[in-house]
Structure 1
Amino acid sequence: MNKHSFSFGTIIMVVLFGLSSCEKPFMDGDPDYNHRENFEYLWNEVDQKYSYFDVKNINWGEVYTEYSPRVNTNMTNEAFFNLMFEMLGTLRDGHVNLRSSFNVSRYNISYDAPENYNGRLLEDYYLEPNELNHFDLAEHSYITGPLKHQLFPVNGHLIGYIQYGSFSYPISDYDIDYTLNRMRPTTGLIIDVRQNGGGAITNIFQMINRLTEEKHYLYGTVIKDGPEHDAFGELMKVYNDPEGSIKYTKPVVIITNRNCYSATTFFAAALKAYQNVTQIGDTTGGGAGAPHGGQMPNGWYYRFSVTRSGYPNGDTLYDFETGVPPDVYVNMDPSDEENGHDTMIDTAITLLISQSKK
């Protein structure tokens, strides 16, 4: 592939057209068309345009061999939909959907992983002042735009905490200025994006741009541009823009779990370039391919990933479609949870305090 640098705006307009939201609306329609024709159409569309066969070690020809004999022209629309639902599930991709007027296919990557999150525990024992809380909190947590934030006093240190629940909600300049200004006296900062299923990829940069004074090559993206499985266009590089009057360049820990998907995976991948940021928790859920789609002859709508992205890893790019691995693996310990402790937050606090002593 030829390499070329593009502005982030160009990437958004040209490449990530399908990631402006993790769920795109579909049109309805399911007239009674020939199931064989529709099967062949959908299989061929995926065969020529899907971007991750080799990364996921998927033999799409074998999928055809398995599912083609099961197509019966006498089967109901519901039965045919379920068969196509099952076939698309072999792609193991949350950006793959099929929609009729009566159902929507989807794939949940987090089925095979621990949840690693307890919202009630977080509220009772960490974020709000009460008799259960582990800290002598000065006040209730703040909610500034989409950001919930708190200050944890721990053994003479002040640890900042920011929770960003969904990248579907933008952060204004005021939101980030106010929040980071509140974090000025802290030793280190926790950014908790567990359960953040993604949203608008543009929104990750409002946070990313404030965590460094330098410009970094964050990741590269290529678009599928031919019917062969290895046919991709030029590599387009994405950089941060270290802007804003208020920045936070002290140690930062981001906490992730498998429910971090799509734009949140890009968030974790981009921060691999920052020396002051450590990712802990579990591998993100992936979702690095921008989805694009169309309409089958019977009126059903489909979408699937048509791009690939990777972050710099030495002289190569680490493809993060299957998730961004943490620097430190941590799972919620059931015994900790029973005693009101979030193992991941406690680990983040310990790590930040230890980094402050170096």
Structure 2
Amino acid sequence: MGKLFLLNASLFFSGCVFGQHPTTQYKQDFDYFWATIRDNYSYWDKKQTNWDKVKTICAPLVDTITTRTSFIGILEKAFYEIYDHHASLNTNTPESQRLVPSGTDLWAEYVNGMPIVIEVKQGSGAERAGIRAGMKLNSFNDISIEKALQSFLPKSLNKPDIEAKNYALRVLLAGKHSENRKIGVMNQNQIQDFFPDQPVNLLEAHGDHSELEFKIVQGNAGYILFNNSLGDNRLIDVFDSAVTALQHTRALIIDLRNTPSGGNTSVTRAILGRFISREGFYQKHELTSEEKETGIKRKWVEIVSPRKPVYKNPVVVLVDHWTGSVGEGIAIGFDALKRATIIGTKMAGLNGAVYSFAMPNTMIGFSFPAEKLFHVNGTPRENFIPTIDVDLTKKRKGDDLILQHALKFISRQFERKK
């Protein structure tokens, strides 16, 4: 396997210590936070949130705080109210929940009223511990699931929303930075406990890894895996080198299943451009705040331009619930350009394009979706379904079922041409 490395210039900021502020400044910052989200969040039409009620709930709490840590806790609770995995602070405390999807190894939803594991991240602690898709969740750290997720359920909803409950379930399962997880599931009619963070939480263990890996797999197919590196423009040269090395292969597999943190559109267009011979549209945008302010809709479509040498053979793109944000944009772009077959599960379903802001006194940063994003056919990006949907409940231990489907698909395509 070829491995190409980039100098990782990112730093891990968590629980940084800043000077404390008077209560009046925390109040000013919360008002700024609340108003900025009110005016710019682009997915109010999907939510049952009463944002005015959120201010009513949180304002008295802000009046009592004296520490930055307490303030962060209130802001996190406010974000729970819009139950959006693409909305977060740029800082945390040891008591903060890990982010979803980047900080979790379990994707779960309520199915027929029951909390069910939908997918387990490939190679994660949860997978190694033995948790499998299809298992029914019973408890978290010895507390029943229904009781444990109450802390993450919105308190301001106009009416119940199953998506709010799914959000709370995933936030719960991600766990706090400060504690290891014990997850109880119903397995073959018996309660079984799993310990996905023993000896360590693999998602928080920082080791050297390549930002991009490539190799030739079964049937002379090229394979490129991105390791959560879509936010660094230096990846473009690395990717170009990988595509050039695999130019002779009869098909290419692009693996986007480890891109939970998103990236930027420069990298997106650079990747897509290597697979097209003429310009094409790959994604629609809508800025809802402009319509709110002026009454005039603002929409536009983004164009990808070709980049040589163009890879002209068949392409397959692999996706799952850890394909997030820009990773999702690349997947729908390949589909819109009719340049690849998308294979896997639903993606992370992260809403829109995030904008970032900073509070005037504490300088705490926060981000949330301020643009809606769509496939060029009008499908909201978060609702996109892969061309070939893989049932992960049939996965056996150690298998990479999605990759297996891709290899079989490529083989069948060439058999038909004989």
TM-score for the superposition, normalised by structure 2 = 0.62
Which of 78, 85, 90 is equivalent to 2:81? 90
Distance 1:299 1:253, change over 3 A: closer
Distance 2:99 2:49 in 1: 16
Distance 1:102 1:116, change over 3 A: closer
Distance 1:41 1:209 in 2: 40
- State the match for 2:386 in structure 1: 326
Which of 221, 224, 231 is equivalent to 1:162? 224
Is residue 81 of structure 1 aligned with residue 72 of structure 2? yes
Between the aligned residues of both structures, percent identity stands at 19
- State the match for 1:123 in structure 2: none
* Deviation of 1:328 (Å): 1.7
Equivalent positions of 1:46-125 (< 5 A) are 46-64=37-55, 67-68=57-58, 71=61, 73-77=63-67, 78-98=69-89, 107-109=99-101, 112-113=107-108, 114-118=119-123
Distance 1:226 1:168, change over 3 A: closer
| Structure 2 contact 89–367 (Cα < 8 Å) conserved | yes
* Deviation of 1:43 (Å): 2.0
Is residue 217 of structure 1 aligned with residue 286 of structure 2? no
| Structure 1 contact 217–238 (Cα < 8 Å) conserved | yes
Which of 186, 189, 192 is equivalent to 2:255? 192
- State the match for 2:7 in structure 1: none
* Deviation of 1:47 (Å): 0.9
Q: What amino acid is aligned across from residue 350 of structure 1 in structure 2? A: K
Q: What amino acid is aligned across from residue 217 of structure 1 in structure 2? A: F
- State the match for 1:149 in structure 2: 214
| Structure 1 contact 53–59 (Cα < 8 Å) conserved | no
| Structure 1 contact 224–231 (Cα < 8 Å) conserved | no
- State the match for 1:312 in structure 2: 376
Q: What amino acid is aligned across from residue 299 of structure 2 in structure 1? A: L
Distance 1:175 1:117, change over 3 A: same
Distance 2:53 2:34 in 1: 12
3-state secondary structure, aligned to 2:407 = helix
| Structure 1 contact 215–239 (Cα < 8 Å) conserved | yes
3-state secondary structure, aligned to 1:265 = helix
Distance 1:214 1:99, change over 3 A: closer
Distance 1:148 1:302, change over 3 A: closer
Query: Paired residues, what number?
Result: 302
Is residue 262 of structure 1 aligned with residue 325 of structure 2? yes
TM-score for the superposition, normalised by structure 1 = 0.71
Equivalent positions of 1:22-41 (< 5 A) are 30-34=20-24, 36-41=27-32
Indicate the structure whose relative CO is greater, using CA pairs within 8 Å and at least 6 residues apart.
1
Distance 2:307 2:28 in 1: 53
Stretch moving more, 275-284 or 341-350: 275-284
Distance 1:24 1:70, change over 3 A: same
Equivalent positions of 1:277-296 (< 5 A) are 277-285=340-348, 286-296=350-360
The two structures, once aligned, show a CA RMSD in angstroms of 3.5
Q: What amino acid is aligned across from residue 98 of structure 1 in structure 2? A: L
Distance 1:32 1:90, change over 3 A: same
Is residue 303 of structure 1 aligned with residue 367 of structure 2? yes
| Structure 1 contact 280–328 (Cα < 8 Å) conserved | yes
* Deviation of 1:88 (Å): 1.0
- State the match for 2:313 in structure 1: 250
Equivalent positions of 1:121-140 (< 5 A) are none
Distance 1:182 1:98, change over 3 A: closer
| Structure 2 contact 230–263 (Cα < 8 Å) conserved | yes
* Deviation of 1:84 (Å): 2.1
Distance 1:270 1:56, change over 3 A: farther
Distance 1:353 1:211, change over 3 A: same
* Deviation of 1:194 (Å): 0.9
| Structure 2 contact 23–65 (Cα < 8 Å) conserved | no
